[in-house]
Structure 1
Amino acid sequence: MIPISPASNPSSRWHKPHEEEFRISDPRTNDRIRVPEVRLVGPAGEQVGVVRIEVALRLAQDADLDLVEVAPNSKPPVVKIMDYGKFKYEAAQKAKEARRNQANTILKEVRFRLKIEPHDYETKRKRAEGFLQAGDKVKAMILFRGREQQRPEQGVKLLRKFAEDVADLGTVESNPTIDGRNMVMVVAPHKNKSEAKAEQNAQRAATKEAARQARSTPDEPTPAAAE
């Protein structure tokens, strides 16, 4: 490999290639990529093709960017020219946001009786759908009475029906299980809290805009007025 002299480019990314930030789980970058040739992807995602590692390093250096190994197991390995520091920062922010969304997710509870009336079931289902639309998980619980505990298959049947009825908004995270005198199942929303909130805000904005346009549109004259 042709060594790249720090004097030719004073950028700190090349004579100190993230040494203080390096972790075993991190991808190889810059001079740590020690293979004869690579499949190069440019900074805008363009496919450059298979080139010698020296060429890839020089192109990255000329752009004052990093060469990052994104697919080490490919033959040859795939590398991309990018700002690795910015990439790591954005990845950390996304991970932080995902943790925040997970922490903000609330487990709501909906309780059923084994012999529930249809209208009561519909009320419970609609309540659960509201929870899921808001980005919260739903804990569906069946409360067994007396000998009903001897018919757990009926509880499973009811919970599976419930899961099918709300499938457009959530998916089963934990299958029906016995918990003391009860049977529980958890349904997780398809959208997290932030996505659900953004969607709700967009719907409110669209409703307000439609109302504003309706107010600003003059009424059409009646036939009598037109005469």
Structure 2
Amino acid sequence: MKETRISDPRTNDRIRVPEVRLVGPGGEQVGVVRIEDALRLAQEADLDLVEVAPNSKPPVVKIMDYGKFKYEQAQKLKEARRNQANTILKEVRFRLKIDKHDYETKRKRAEGFLQAGDKVKAMILFRGREQSRPEQGVRLLQRFAEDVAEWGTVESTPTIDGRNMVMIIAPLKSKVDAKAEQNAKRAANKARPQSPEDPDGSADNAAAADKTEEE
């Protein structure tokens, strides 16, 4: 599939309008000036004049380092794509009449997915006349969302999809980051070499305790 390319903004001499609304390199509003004056100010600052709002009347331009701007934009796009690729949609299926044990099993599984940074697609499979009672499905999914609220937040509210009802729950970034940091610390502690005389690290713990008492 061919990727849609967004055209680059006009810069410097390619900006062919009589007047522009100029923004300085520090974000300060200079005001409406002639294009010649805007180009001169950009040249004096050894920077570029970039059209940032071509549809405004007059167009808005900003004095900036265009090469640096393009690099930063490319890095942001790359990071966004990487985050999107790393987010996996995991599916958890329910029956409308689900027993307590099965529900708890699926809740714990969903929490594990959210803790790993994945989204959860909670789906209720309606059978027969159950399709005439969608409000029961909504209540079940709302209860499920409340039960996993420590690790996730509702991204897409319950909706009917054919004979099913679907809700999407996204992981809470702060919780995921905290767990990842905790796991990294555990891994670092396991990898730390121990002294033959102190294989369990008790000497370090004792030293830390002595330091606390001194304080």
CA 1:76 to 1:178, structure 2 compared with 1: closer, same or farther past 3 Å?
closer
Give % identity: 75
Cα distance, 1:178 vs. partner? 4.0
- Segments of 5+ residues of structure 1 without an aligned counterpart are 1-22, 222-227
- Contact kept, 8 Å, 1:140 with 1:184, in 2: the verdict is yes
- Segments of 5+ residues of structure 2 without an aligned counterpart are 190-203
Other-structure match for 1:188: 170
- Contact kept, 8 Å, 1:163 with 1:172, in 2: the verdict is no
Query: What amino acid is the match of 1:200?
Result: K
CA RMSD of aligned residues (A): 3.6
CA 1:214 to 1:64, structure 2 compared with 1: closer, same or farther past 3 Å?
farther
Equivalents in 2 of 1:49, 1:214: separation in Å? 66
Equivalents in 1 of 2:136, 2:117: separation in Å? 29
1:51-90 alignment, distance < 5 Å: 51-90=33-72
Cα distance, 1:140 vs. partner? 0.7
Equivalents in 2 of 1:30, 1:151: separation in Å? 63
- Name the TM-score, length of structure 1 as normaliser: 0.65
1:6-45 alignment, distance < 5 Å: 25-45=7-27
Cα distance, 1:119 vs. partner? 6.0
- Contact kept, 8 Å, 2:154 with 2:167, in 1: the verdict is no
1:1-227 alignment, distance < 5 Å: 25-118=7-100, 120-144=102-126, 147-166=129-148, 169-173=152-156, 175-180=158-163, 182-189=164-171, 191=173, 198-203=177-182, 216-218=208-210, 220=213
Query: What amino acid is the match of 1:115?
Result: K
Range moving further from structure 2, 139-148 or 105-114: 139-148
- Contact kept, 8 Å, 2:21 with 2:32, in 1: the verdict is yes
Equivalents in 2 of 1:25, 1:132: separation in Å? 37
Query: What amino acid is the match of 2:159?
Result: P
Query: What amino acid is the match of 2:50?
Result: V
- Name the TM-score, length of structure 2 as normaliser: 0.68
CA 1:41 to 1:215, structure 2 compared with 1: closer, same or farther past 3 Å?
farther
- Contact kept, 8 Å, 1:29 with 1:66, in 2: the verdict is yes
Equivalents in 1 of 2:207, 2:95: separation in Å? 48
Range moving further from structure 2, 59-68 or 197-206: 197-206
- Contact kept, 8 Å, 1:68 with 1:84, in 2: the verdict is yes
Equivalents in 1 of 2:40, 2:205: separation in Å? 57
Equivalents in 2 of 1:130, 1:110: separation in Å? 11
SS for the counterpart of 1:187 is: strand
CA 1:197 to 1:163, structure 2 compared with 1: closer, same or farther past 3 Å?
closer
SS for the counterpart of 1:109 is: strand
Structure 1, residues 78-127: CA drift from partner, whole Å, max 9, x if none?
Answer: 21111212212221222122122212211112222323345654553344
Cα distance, 1:74 vs. partner? 3.3
